[in-house]
Structure 1
Amino acid sequence: MEFIRRYRNLLILHFTVLIWGFTGVLGDLITVSALHLVWYRVLIAALTLFVYFKLSKQKLVVSWSKILRFLGVGMIVGLHWVCFFHAIKISTVSVTLVTLSSLTLFTAILEPLFNRKTIAIGDVIVGMVIIFGIYLIFKFEFQYWQGIIFGLSAALCASLFSILNAKMVKQDSPTIITFYEMIGAFIGVSIIMLLSGQFTAEMVLSSSDWVYLLLLGSVCTAFAYVLGVAVMKELSAFTVALTTNLEPVYGILLAIVILGHKETMSIGFYFGAVIILGAVFLYPLLKAGLARSKNRNRLENK
């Protein structure tokens, strides 16, 4: 029975990661700009989560200091998505998803700084491998250099809000945090649009855009998040982290199947992608192995 429940939760987790990978394809299919896309996405996600809270009869009341903190992090989330979808618009889904995998590199550098710890040697080595992979992609797909820059910017923002969320989630519900972060992202993107005069007729959506955005905002954002949190209660953090690293793999495969020839890259790109994704995927395994080895040595010394 325990095995069946674990297997079911693993399938749900993989399905959730597959949904997250599908966001890149939707970003390419939606015709409005990245700024307008994110504005609609976070609005739909916030409304969907609000309905979820009402149906589940959960309270949304938290202190004003926490709300302001959640809204601030939400603005970083909004900037992350703007960079992410803009990278897709000016390059390809594959290029964007692979460069987004540099999240591991940024986190390895930034997390010790935030927590006032020394940077681990293993993190530095993995970071160097990822930098080499990004260099190869720059070299062989230089025509997409702007998309690579925005993809790396999206990864930097993702690293920042992931580190901040890791602290906040210890005290508050992840779903409540996400709800207020969606509102923060909506406010942040709205301010950018207001200052840049982006509230224009270009925001008018076609029928297909409405369908894709509803999928993006409700299924790929709110629903996938709630689903992901649910399985995290049953599976180990290590299993979740390892499976989540498959997101760019699923996303690239979906992009090739759905978008076809547009996603065809050079051999050099795929070589660089394998190096980056291999480093990202194997890193948790190596780290867990080193931790077990240290524990064994500690026990033997006792």
Structure 2
Amino acid sequence: MQKNYTKNLSVLLLGTLFISTSGVLGRYIAMPAEAIILCRAFLAAIFIYIFCRVQKISFKINSAKDKRSFLMGGFLMGAHWVTYFYALKLSNVALAMLSIYTYPIITVFIEPFFSKKKVDRIHILMAILVLVGVYNLIPEFSIENTYLQGILLGILSAFFYALRNLMVKEDVKKYNGSMLMFYQMVIISVLLLPTLFFSDYSNIESQLPWLLLVALLTTAIGHTLMVNSLQYFSATTASIISSVQPIFGIIIAFIFVNEIPSSSTFIGGSLILLTVIIESVRSKK
């Protein structure tokens, strides 16, 4: 039991670490957000398809209801990515990543609509702690600059992500996580195909190494590990534990793009990390 818990928690945190690379990679890739997402989803679909074939994972969807769920999950994931990448372009890695980490708070309050589970008061307290942590991490901004737009898009992205995770939570009980991610990548690719006619793909060749990295490391591996972890943790628990993602993202941004965090970033990050530790201990019990 102890070994299984440690393994499952390690997989969740590893997936979170890989997903954290999206912030820096999103800043590196010199393409419009919708173009990045289409390339990311298409390439990730290829990687995941190959993995599923090697592992002999079935692609069969059992019912029309599940097909609708897959379609909605793919749409929400795509909406999450597009709004998140625009938040990155309008602000910076720390601000964009931290604004989407209102999603544990959103998850706490909307999960009861997807299950019979009641809102746990300790989760409300931890959600508030995460919110205070995020507030401390956000730099000073005014309505006149793009930071506010980035924050609002980040929060909207958080809402889409919370809804998607809650829908996947039901699907992952019946289907393999890699298979779920494959269909979501295909759906996102199809939905964004029209961008081929109006977005700028002229420098795709020079950006291909970064696109391959975000497709394989961040998406195919990171998000698949995250989806698989939903078999062992509730959506609320998984979201609170994965609140360590902004910390990972800020460290990676400091190393690779020299974004130096302020003292308030360290205070806010400590509060977020505290909620991760508390929820890790509680979920183990």
What is the TM-score with the length of structure 1 in the denominator? 0.78
- Once the two structures are superposed, the pairs formed by residues 129-208 of structure 1 within 5 Å of their partners are 129-137=129-137, 140-142=140-142, 143=145, 144-190=147-193, 193=195, 199-200=197-198, 202-208=200-206
Identity %: 22
SS in 1 for 2:197: coil
Amino acid at match of 1:28: R
- 1: CA distance between counterparts of 2:226 and 2:138? 33
Amino acid at match of 2:48: L
- Once the two structures are superposed, the pairs formed by residues 1-302 of structure 1 within 5 Å of their partners are 14-63=13-62, 65=64, 66-137=66-137, 140-142=140-142, 143=145, 144-190=147-193, 193=195, 199-200=197-198, 202-226=200-224, 237=233, 241=238, 244-260=242-258, 263-275=259-271, 277-278=272-273, 280-285=275-280, 287-288=282-283
- 1: CA distance between counterparts of 2:129 and 2:223? 30
- 2: CA distance between counterparts of 1:228 and 1:108? 18
- 2: CA distance between counterparts of 1:8 and 1:116? 28
Deviation (angstroms), 1:247: 2.2
Deviation (angstroms), 1:95: 1.0
- 2: CA distance between counterparts of 1:9 and 1:165? 17
Q: Are 1:19 and 1:224, in contact at CA under 8 Å, matched by a contact in 2?
A: yes
Which has the higher mean CA deviation after the structures are superposed, 74-83 or 47-56? 47-56
Q: Are 2:33 and 2:82, in contact at CA under 8 Å, matched by a contact in 1?
A: yes
What do residues 60-99 of structure 1 show as CA deviations (whole Å, max 9, x unaligned)?
1223512232022101000001111111111111111222
- Please list every run of 5 or more consecutive structure 2 residues that lacks an aligned counterpart in the other structure: none
What is the TM-score with the length of structure 2 in the denominator? 0.82
Q: How many residues align?
A: 277
- 1: CA distance between counterparts of 2:205 and 2:193? 23
SS in 1 for 2:192: helix
- After superposition, the Cα gap between the structure-2 partners of 1:92 and 1:76, relative to the gap in structure 1 and judged at 3 Å, is same
Deviation (angstroms), 1:270: 4.1
- 1: CA distance between counterparts of 2:226 and 2:283? 22
Deviation (angstroms), 1:141: 3.9
- 1: CA distance between counterparts of 2:164 and 2:19? 17
Q: Which has the higher helix share?
A: 1
- Please list every run of 5 or more consecutive structure 1 residues that lacks an aligned counterpart in the other structure: 293-302
Q: Are 2:98 and 2:137, in contact at CA under 8 Å, matched by a contact in 1?
A: no
- After superposition, the Cα gap between the structure-2 partners of 1:86 and 1:283, relative to the gap in structure 1 and judged at 3 Å, is farther
What do residues 12-70 of structure 1 show as CA deviations (whole Å, max 9, x unaligned)?
66544332211211111001011111111111111222222333333312235122320
Deviation (angstroms), 1:109: 0.6
Task: Give RMSD over aligned pairs.
Answer: 3.2
- 1: CA distance between counterparts of 2:49 and 2:190? 16
Amino acid at match of 1:222: A
Greater Rg over alpha carbons, structure: 1
